Chain A
């Protein structure tokens, strides 16, 4: 539902109003708890089905936060499976890195070979092993499932919730949304900050009129909404959708205006948001003055969902104060060369706006670690930040 005019999100969602401790961004002990009790029990997105479209296509994900490396592979039966990237013989890392296509996985150490479903298919001179039972030497499986084309894995031996249960009411919010889109751009960076600080920076809009004053000018603020208040914030258990306002009277700069004019596919910002065909979770308040949404699929997957394009962010914790950030942009397939040119504006512009968001992160981490001040102050428009930290803390508390 939308927030009634005179009610605060804090009152609606009852997440508290007190300042938040910085402890969960600076404490190596709490980070280790997050690793063991959250990430190792969570459904974690590792890519899109379209990343491995054909039988034998696979990708390797080195996941520091899970203390493992995973192979995600499409089998001959078209099933997507995930395995720990280890040969059960002497525990060599089976596929060193990257992505590719293969009929079998062969360990380059002694040549043990595995089918795409993980079964051991060849071991040279197996008579040299005493009591060799090859059925015991399949690749160690990881639970894997799909949602709206996203591949999720869960390294728990027996996940408490399946993926549907994990997503809860978020399940039906995006039906078909990504079907027509394709990956149009990807970039990454390692940033010296806690992963939650990074999520925070990308999921509130209170900062937009200040931090982005030069790049976004008044596209997110107007006399009607000077602080870029959310159109709506909806919480779905541990997940969240925040819908970001756009100034309908924004005057684009010259190149931006040109790209709007020549585009066949929708661009950023969504100054002419047509919302009829969007699923319920995208622009949920159906406000025409809408730029895009900031959505978090708990804990570390984010969408910047707009009309006709979507950012997909992966936050990969490397340590308590180091995060690998991957930003993918999905868009409709360009229909004309003019489309390619107009989409390029969105791709370049959004990347550099995000670099402005990133510009605060290492300084904030540094000052949090100084310990001079131990609490952050949050206003009602930063409810998404509060929800991020509270959801992580609650999950860990309940895991005990």
Chain B
């Protein structure tokens, strides 16, 4: 995956772009349940304190016209949302549930 350069004010998150700036929900879901809880926690600890700043930054733009340089921040925050429950609720990459790999994310 090509690694985009984040806007300067978010350079602290640059190292996470290649792994977590995932455009598609199916990829974010799979990334969570195939990651170790340690990797998930490392990302959570980085993204969680920055979520509000990211939202403030993205909210400058119309929802359907986010500049290319800022799009990875949207995908990274969506990944943050996806993995948050692993840290906050389950202390594991997935909950005790129907096997994730048997769920097909169509959209």
Contact = CB atoms under 8 A, between A and B. Distances in A.
Contact of A341 (B29, B81, B105): B81
Most chain-A CB neighbours within 10 Å: which of B29, B61, B97?
Answer: B97
Contact of B89 (A187, A253, A262, A338): A253
A104 interface: no
B95 A355 contact: yes
Contacts of A183: 107
Interface string A199-233: 00000000000000011010000000000000000
Interface string A245-272: 0000000011110110010000000000
Nearest to A217: B89
B61 A337 contact: yes
B48 A359 contact: no
Main secondary structure of the interface of A (DSSP, over half): helix
Contacts of B25: 185, 344, 347-348
B81 A337 contact: no
A8 interface: no
Given A254-B48, A258-B51, A340-B74, A352 B95 contact: yes
Contacts of A352: 85, 94-95, 97
B48 A255 contact: yes
B9 interface: no
A262 B107 contact: no
State which size class the interface on A falls in.
35 or more
Interface stretch (A67-75, A188-196, A284-292): A188-196
A319 B89 CA distance: 36
Contacts of A191: 98
B97 to A, nearest CB: 4
Nearest to A185: B107
Contact of B88 (A253, A337, A340, A341): A253
Contacts of B82: 344, 348
21 contacts: A188-B103, A188-B104, A188-B106, A191-B98, A215-B85, A215-B95, A217-B89, A255-B48, A255-B80, A256-B84, A262-B52, A336-B58, A337-B59, A337-B61, A345-B84, A347-B25, A349-B85, A355-B98, A356-B96, A358-B97, A359-B97
